[in-house]
């Protein structure tokens, strides 16, 4: 057996090391400065601890906190420190799981008494003590029976349940100080690496997400290598709270969700409904320009329709219970596609009809568990910006390219020009021939590459009936939000026996594209509220202008301006209350109304208007016709920022 191995390094060089050399030692020799920040490594594609030893010719890479792998290990390690602190302070608590998440970490605990805010401060104090002692994270591979004995002695029933489901005869444990956890790792080298952290909140969470299981206490937290990074994050968190669509939705009277109606079912208030109408009108106008045909479909259908489409086999857990009508079972629709298919199938189709584009803003209903409902982001009743394109195979790539252009154009108009694109491939639960999936995936890839669009591959992220392109917009806070989806479908046309007569006189099978550009209107509206912090651009704002006379003497002139503006198509209000003008201005600013027209003696005398802009203050006095022309220009351009006066 050779006593040396060749190690390929990140700069492309190779170097010999003794068998059993640790990744950390290789790192120190390769780049001493990187060794100060690296947290974990990749060894032949597998993310490992820096203490991992090399036993064969290998390729290594190193990850600091600025990488996804580094952050995951950092946050996961912090969750272990938190779990030790909780165990030390609350004897008898049972440990469940503690993963890293998109931003930070959590750990679930089974405890008789809920954690209080003061408890978080105590836990943080104990965590600082553990971190200060700089304990090493040590990986151990033991037999399952040995691991079971360790957790049985500790009364850790949740760990025993997880162990019972592990394949093989071994288990991986991680220790630091006297704390041991069942964990695959990897972890940062020592607890002392974790410089700054904050426990953020406590929430209830069912074990494994099922209402049938015990309710656990989940503590969320976040950590960083530097204090200034934590401070920046906490500042960002405050900004996110300020923009929370659930808070702004109530303050601005846009929407509500009532327990009397039911969780996840949205009531659109007049102002929210007006914004929705403006978006819908824009949506319809653009779809008609792009040769879509508008349709409407029912909210329910016979259950067998969903059996034929495959939804009951692959999606039933997210469908509401059926209802009996005249002895037959009916289903609230979770999706619109079977209806669109039947409209296609309602008559013989020719190749001259293709591509056929059917679009609707269709109401859908899905049974989301109460624990995952979240404002407008996750609801049970929603309106899907939905369309289906039926085309010939040779038309497919061109149609996908058109869809990408259409989607990006609409999103830019609505204020989003930063995005991520994913090509999502075949999941484990799916239908259809492998060759069809491969062909479809390649067609989507070629469409993306032909447009020079950067994308990532999301392995297994496709729909059960076909691969898809997902587009996630980034809001003003940099958070990705699921939006556009373009889904390929060879399979449902087979299930419904869809055909068209081609130029050769024979019947052929069309290809079907499922697509949504905005996603659900509810979720998109929530994103829009947070993106603009409730201060919508003029063309979207439910109230565009508020006219405010200083005294009652200016009311007649102000009413005339109101009539004129309404005739010109503006959404305008007249605030002729007997209140001081500064109070009226404060109210309008609080309601985030884009423009305020102040009317005093001088304005009446000169037949003009004093114009204020939300957050910008006084813009000056202008002729009424000039103001109207400027604002018409701003509305027509759908400008995200105000025009200059």
- Of 74-78, 313-317, 325-329, 620-624, which range is least confident? 313-317
Q: What is the pTM (predicted TM-score) of this model?
A: 0.83
CATH superfamily entry for domain 545-636: Anticodon-binding domain (3.40.50.800)
- Confidence (pLDDT) at 25: 94
Q: Does domain 4-63 have CATH number 3.30.365.10?
A: no
User: Cα–Cα distance between 569 and 628 in angstroms, integer?
Assistant: 10
Q: Say if residues 322 and 331 touch (Cβ distance below 8 Å).
A: yes
User: Cα–Cα distance between 452 and 601 in angstroms, integer?
Assistant: 59
**What angle is formed at CA 635 by the lines to CA 532 and CA 549, rounded to 5 degrees?**
85
- Confidence (pLDDT) at 466: 82
Percent of the chain with pLDDT over 90: 75
Mean pLDDT of the chain: 92
- Confidence (pLDDT) at 438: 84
Mean pLDDT of the 182-201 span: 95
User: Cα–Cα distance between 429 and 440 in angstroms, integer?
Assistant: 17
300 — phi, psi (to 5°)? -135, 160
How would residue 270 be classed by pLDDT, with cut points 50, 70 and 90?
A: very high
User: Cα–Cα distance between 487 and 512 in angstroms, integer?
Assistant: 8
Q: What share of the chain is helix, strand, coil (3-state, %, to 5)?
A: 40, 30, 35
- Confidence (pLDDT) at 490: 75
pLDDT above 80 (res 445) = yes
pLDDT above 70 (res 232) = yes
Burial (Cβ within 10 Å: 0-12, 13-18, ≥19) of residue 130: buried
- Confidence (pLDDT) at 370: 78
- Confidence (pLDDT) at 283: 97
How would residue 524 be classed by pLDDT, with cut points 50, 70 and 90?
A: very high
Indicate the SS3 state at residue 616. Answer: coil
- Confidence (pLDDT) at 235: 94
**Chain position carrying tokens 């600091």:** 64
User: Cα–Cα distance between 422 and 454 in angstroms, integer?
Assistant: 9
The DSSP code for 136 is: B
pLDDT in tens, 26-38: 999 999 999 999 9
Indicate the SS3 state at residue 236. Answer: helix
Q: Say if residues 364 and 336 touch (Cβ distance below 8 Å).
A: yes
pLDDT above 80 (res 639) = no
How would residue 2 be classed by pLDDT, with cut points 50, 70 and 90?
A: low
Q: b/e string for 211-250 if b means 16 or more Cβ within 10 A?
A: eeeeebbbbbbbbbbeeeebeebeeeeeeeeebbbbebbe
Q: How far apart are the first and last CA of the chain?
A: 81
Which two three-digit tokens encode residue 71?
A: 């952050």
CB proximity list for 111: less than 8 A, separation 6 or greater: 90, 92, 93, 94, 217
CB proximity list for 63: less than 8 A, separation 6 or greater: 38, 39, 40, 41, 42, 47, 69, 70, 73
- Residue 154: other Cβ atoms inside 10 A: 14
Boundaries of every domain in the chain: 4-63, 68-243, 256-532, 545-636
User: At how many degrees (to 10) do helices 521-532 and 227-243 cross?
Assistant: 120
Pick 274 or 55 by higher pLDDT.
274
How would residue 489 be classed by pLDDT, with cut points 50, 70 and 90?
A: confident
pLDDT above 60 (res 393) = yes
Percent of the chain with pLDDT over 70: 100
- Confidence (pLDDT) at 480: 85
Mean pLDDT of the 368-395 span: 90
Q: Say if residues 141 and 193 touch (Cβ distance below 8 Å).
A: no
Residue 87's nearest CA partner among 126, 132, 44, 116 is 126
User: Cα–Cα distance between 601 and 368 in angstroms, integer?
Assistant: 58
pLDDT above 70 (res 1) = no
How would residue 268 be classed by pLDDT, with cut points 50, 70 and 90?
A: very high
> E strands, 212-322, where?
215-224, 255-257, 266-268, 293-294, 300-302
- Confidence (pLDDT) at 379: 94
- Confidence (pLDDT) at 637: 92
Pick 315 or 148 by higher pLDDT.
148
- Confidence (pLDDT) at 6: 92
Q: Say if residues 467 and 441 touch (Cβ distance below 8 Å).
A: yes
In CATH terms, the fold of domain 256-532 is: BirA Bifunctional Protein; domain 2 (3.30.930)
10 — phi, psi (to 5°)? -60, -25
- Confidence (pLDDT) at 492: 83
How would residue 645 be classed by pLDDT, with cut points 50, 70 and 90?
A: confident
Mean pLDDT of the 495-510 span: 94
Q: Does domain 68-243 have CATH number 3.40.47.10?
A: no
Q: Give whole-number Cα distances, 277 to 272, 525, 540, 616, in Å.
A: 9, 12, 9, 28
How would residue 636 be classed by pLDDT, with cut points 50, 70 and 90?
A: very high
User: Cα–Cα distance between 176 and 197 in angstroms, integer?
Assistant: 18
């Amino acid at each position: 057996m050779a006593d040396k191995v060749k190690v390929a390094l990140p700069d492309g060089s190779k170097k010999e090391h003794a068998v059993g050399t640790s990744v950390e030692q290789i790192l120190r020799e390769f780049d001493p400065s990187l060794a100060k920040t690296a947290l974990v490594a990749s060894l032949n594609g597998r993310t490992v601890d820096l203490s991992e030893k090399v036993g064969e010719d290998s390729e290594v890479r190193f990850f600091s906190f600025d990488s996804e792998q580094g952050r995951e290990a950092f946050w996961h390690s912090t969750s272990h420190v938190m779990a030790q602190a909780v165990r030390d302070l609350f004897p008898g608590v049972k440990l469940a799981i503690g993963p890293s998440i998109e931003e930070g970490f959590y750990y679930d605990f089974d405890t008789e008494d809920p954690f209080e805010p003061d408890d978080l401060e105590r836990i943080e104090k104990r965590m600082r003590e553990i971190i200060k002692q700089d304990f090493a994270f040590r990986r151990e591979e033991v037999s399952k029976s040995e691991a079971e004995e360790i957790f049985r002695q500790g009364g850790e029933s949740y760990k025993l349940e997880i162990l019972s489901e592990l394949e093989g005869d071994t288990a991986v444990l991680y220790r630091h100080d006297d704390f041991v956890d069942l964990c695959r790792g990897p972890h940062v080298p020592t607890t002392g690496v974790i410089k700054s952290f904050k426990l953020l909140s406590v929430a209830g969470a069912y074990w494994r997400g099922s209402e049938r299981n015990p309710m656990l206490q989940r503590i969320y937290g976040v950590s960083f290598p530097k204090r200034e990074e934590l401070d920046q994050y906490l500042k960002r968190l405050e900004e996110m709270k300020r923009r929370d669509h659930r808070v702004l939705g109530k303050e601005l009277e846009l929407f509500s969700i009532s327990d009397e109606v039911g969780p996840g079912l949205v009531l659109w208030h007049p102002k929210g409904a007006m914004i929705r109408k403006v978006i819908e009108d824009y949506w319809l106008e653009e779809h008609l320009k792009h040769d879509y045909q508008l349709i409407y479909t029912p909210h329910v259908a016979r259950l067998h329709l969903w059996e034929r489409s495959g939804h009951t086999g692959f999606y039933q857990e997210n469908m509401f219970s059926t209802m009996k009508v005249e002895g037959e079972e009916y289903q609230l629709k979770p999706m619109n596609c079977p209806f669109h298919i039947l409209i296609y199938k309602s008559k013989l189709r020719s190749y001259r009809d293709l591509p056929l584009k059917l679009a609707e803003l269709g109401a859908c209903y899905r049974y989301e568990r109460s624990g995952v409902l979240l404002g407008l982001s996750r609801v049970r009743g929603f309106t899907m910006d939905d369309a289906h394109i039926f085309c010939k195979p040779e038309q497919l790539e061109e149609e996908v390219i058109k869809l990408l252009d259409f989607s990006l154009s609409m999103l830019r108009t609505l204020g989003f020009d930063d995005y991520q694109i994913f090509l999502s491939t075949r999941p484990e639960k799916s239908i259809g021939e492998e060759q069809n999936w491969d062909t479809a995936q390649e067609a989507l890839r070629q469409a993306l590459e032909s447009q020079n669009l950067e994308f990532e591959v999301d392995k297994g992220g496709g729909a059960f009936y076909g691969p898809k392109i997902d587009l996630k917009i980034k809001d003003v806070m940099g958070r990705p939000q699921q939006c556009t989806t373009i889904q390929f479908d060879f399979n449902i046309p087979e299930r419904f026996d869809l055909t068209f007569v081609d130029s050769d006189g024979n019947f052929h099978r069309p290809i079907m594209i499922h697509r949504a550009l905005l996603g659900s209107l509810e979720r998109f509206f929530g994103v829009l509220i947070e993106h603009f912090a409730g201060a919508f651009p003029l063309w979207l704002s439910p109230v565009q202008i508020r006219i405010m006379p200083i005294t009652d003497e200016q009311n007649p002139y102000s009413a005339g301006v109101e009539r004129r503006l309404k005739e010109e198509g503006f959404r305008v209000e007249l605030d002729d209350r007997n209140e001081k003008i500064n109070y009226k201005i404060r109210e309008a600013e609080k309601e985030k109304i884009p423009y305020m027209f102040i009317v005093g003696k001088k304005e009446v005398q000169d037949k003009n208007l004093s114009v204020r802009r939300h957050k910008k203050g006084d813009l000056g006095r202008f002729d009424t016709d000039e103001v109207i022309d400027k604002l018409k220009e701003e509305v027509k351009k759908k400008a995200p920022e105000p025009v200059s006066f």
